[in-house]
Amino acid sequence: MEKLKEVFQGMLSKKSLTHYYLPFMIGSFLFFLLIARLLYPYIPIYPYNWTTSMISRLGWPEENPIGFVFFSLSFILLGILTLPIVQYLYRKYSKINEFYAKLIVFFFFAYSIASILIGLIPNFYEPNIFKLIHVINAGFIFLGFFLMSFFSAILMLKNVLSKGKAATFSKKLLVIYISILIYCLICGLLWVILAPTNRSGRFFPNPITPFYFSAPFYEWQAFMAFSFLLPIQCIILPDELE
């Protein structure tokens, strides 16, 4: 592994990134999120269930007084550890198209900062400012990551279809990448359509509503699918862009 300073400058090799850095980043995020879930107290009238409970419910201090700390740590760590990848992607994509490279890192940077803020600012029930901040940060997380992935896909696809290719991308992996991205878009749209119209930052399901009409059911799917997009993107990027 590279020195710590070089890592945070995005000076990672493809092998270090895909074999060590990304597994550690995603693994630590899911590990802390799992601890937050395991520490969540059982509430008979509304037990935690991923089909009816938003991800952010793990970070409600009133319901998860100990676990919310691990929820916060998971997002703070995720946001910090994605910052070197922002620079890594810029270094790669700028060799193909400077404009797209700047778009990609802009949205990815917004995602990283929003992730850190989600962890730093707990989603308290009162005052309402906490819920508002949470909703804004959550929006930046989902939109930031999706738009980063979208423009990455556009840039890679343009390069594949171009006669004068700047780099050679794996077409099979690109098809998988775009397919997951479309799946994320569908889940994200269903999440927005089915979510409460007041966007209060708190979600409470109607017990008679089937889980497949529940916003959290699609939020969780979109969020977990995101976990595959970044590793696949980093694997697709060819060594010739080093």
Weakest mean pLDDT among 11-25, 197-211, 225-239: 197-211
Question: What integer best gives the mean pLDDT of the chain?
Answer: 86
As for how many domains the chain has, the answer is 1
> Both tokens of residue 27?
């693994």
Task: Give tens-digit pLDDT for 29-88.
Answer: 999 999 999 999 998 888 888 888 888 889 988 889 999 999 999 999 999 999 999 999
Rounded to whole angstroms, the Cα distance separating 150 from 111 reads 14
Q: Say whether pLDDT at 198 is over 50.
A: no
* Interatomic CA distance for residues 73 and 94, integer angstroms: 32
Structure tokens at 49: 């269930």
Could you tell me which residue, 104 or 193, shows the higher pLDDT?
104
**Predicted pLDDT at 203:** 60
Question: What's the whole-model pTM score?
Answer: 0.87
Decide if pLDDT at 201 tops 70.
Answer: no
Tell me how far CA of residue 155 lies from CA of 101, 142, 151, 241, in angstroms: 9, 20, 6, 14
pLDDT given for residue 165 in this prediction:
64
Split at pLDDT 50, 70, 90, the class of 168 is confident
Domain of 38, in residue numbers: 4-241
The string of DSSP letters for 147-209 reads HHHHHHHHHHHHHHH-SS-SS---HHHHHHHHHHHHHHHHHHHHHHHHS-TT--S-----TTS
Per-residue HEC secondary structure of 86-104 comes to HHHHHHHHCCCCHHHHHHH
Mean pLDDT of 105-110: 96
Which residues does 218 contact at the CB level (< 8 Å), separation at least 6? 187, 188, 190, 191, 194
In the chain, the percentage of residues whose pLDDT exceeds 90 is 49
Find the radius of gyration of the CA atoms of the chain. 19
